[in-house]
């Protein structure tokens, strides 16, 4: 395992890691707010909306993400919806992760004392003011550990994008391993994933600390 060889393949691995990080970042940006909205729908009293969202969550959690990626990229064009590879990956990831986040947030919303809504109501705060200032901060505190699990899964799940021909970190390692007949690139890939997850873990711990100011 020469340093020279490592230096040669690292740029391509970093390039792959760049795509992995992009998918990771934009998936979170899209799926966290969407997950909150879906969870509000799941707990709403509008039954048709609730049923529709329950079916959505069932579909997203009930089929492999790999299959969803294939359907979004190769299947949707049949009905006239065409995405670029990268956009298809984001659509599939955001829809899939929003479903998991929605279930986590639903649990969070249900564990906030309903009395908080009553206290806000007698102070004449609107529903959205109540959510934003009172309920969501409490929900976030409750759900951070579960969200953290999914966030770490996402770092690794992003490797599924190889199936629609995107060059992420794992694929870059695979290419080098096949070409050079050595496991060294994949070892490095493993190491890079570990570092990424390590950073995520530290960030999540900081977030948890930020919410430790109340009980």
Partner 1 sequence: MLEVRNLKKSFGGRQILNGVDLTVEDGKILCIVGPSGAGKTTLLRCITGLESPDSGEFSIDGRSFNPQGTEANDRVIGVVFQDFKLFPNLSVMENITLAPTMVLKKDKTAATAEAKRLLDELGLGDKEDLYPYQLSGGQKQRVAIARALAMKPKILCYDEPTSALDPNLRKDVANIILGLKKDGMTQLIVTHDLDFAEDVADDILKVKPLDQQN
Q: Is 45 near partner 1 (CB under 8 A)?
A: no
What DSSP designation does 132 have?
A: I
Q: Is 125 near partner 1 (CB under 8 A)?
A: yes
Q: How far is the CB of 89 from partner 1 (least distance, A)?
A: 36
Least Cα distance to 24 among 90, 101, 96, 103 occurs for: 90
- In degrees, rounded to 5, the angle at the alpha carbon of residue 71 between the alpha carbons of residues 66 and 196 is 35
Of 62-121, which residues contact partner 1 (CB under 8 A)? Answer: 113, 115-116, 118-121
Which CB sits closer to partner 1, 63 or 126? 126
| Residue recorded with tokens 């003011």 | 129
Q: Is 52 near partner 1 (CB under 8 A)?
A: no
Q: Is 210 near partner 1 (CB under 8 A)?
A: no
How far apart are alpha carbons 31 and 45 in whole angstroms?
Answer: 23
| Sole binder of partner 1 in the list 44, 63, 129, 201 (CB under 8 A) | 129
Q: Is 190 near partner 1 (CB under 8 A)?
A: no
How far apart are alpha carbons 215 and 212 in whole angstroms?
Answer: 7
- Give residues with Cβ within 8 angstroms of 151, minimum separation 6: 28, 200, 204
Which CB sits closer to partner 1, 142 or 188? 142
The size of the interface with partner 1 (CB under 8 A), counted in residues, is 20
Q: Is 208 near partner 1 (CB under 8 A)?
A: no
Q: How far is the CB of 36 from partner 1 (least distance, A)?
A: 16
What DSSP designation does 165 have?
A: T
Q: Is 201 near partner 1 (CB under 8 A)?
A: no
| End-to-end Cα separation, the chain, in angstroms | 51
How far apart are alpha carbons 39 and 135 in whole angstroms?
Answer: 13
- Contact residues toward partner 1 (CB under 8 A) are 113, 115-116, 118-125, 129, 133-134, 137-138, 141, 213-215
């Amino acid at each position: 395992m020469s340093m020279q060889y490592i230096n040669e393949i690292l740029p391509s691995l970093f390039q792959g890691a760049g795509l992995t990080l992009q998918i990771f970042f934009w998936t979170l940006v899209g799926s966290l707010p969407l997950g909150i909205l879906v969870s509000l729908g799941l707990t709403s009293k509008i039954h048709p909306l609730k049923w529709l969202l329950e079916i959505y969550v069932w579909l997203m959690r009930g089929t492999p993400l790999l299959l969803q990626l294939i359907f979004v990229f190769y299947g949707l064009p049949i009905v006239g919806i065409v995405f670029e590879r990268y956009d298809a990956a984001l659509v599939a990831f955001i829809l899939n992760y929003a479903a998991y986040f929605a279930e986590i947030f639903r649990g969070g919303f249900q564990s906030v004392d309903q009395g908080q809504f009553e206290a806000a109501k007698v102070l004449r705060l609107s529903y959205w003011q109540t959510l934003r200032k009172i309920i969501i901060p409490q929900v976030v505190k409750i759900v951070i550990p579960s969200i953290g699990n999914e966030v770490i899964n996402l770092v690794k799940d992003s490797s599924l994008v190889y199936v629609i021909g995107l060059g992420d970190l794992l694929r870059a390692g695979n290419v080098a391993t096949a070409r050079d007949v050595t496991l060294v690139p994949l070892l490095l890939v493993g190491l890079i994933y570990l570092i990424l997850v390590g950073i995520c873990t530290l960030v999540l711990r900081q977030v948890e600390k930020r919410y430790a100011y109340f009980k």
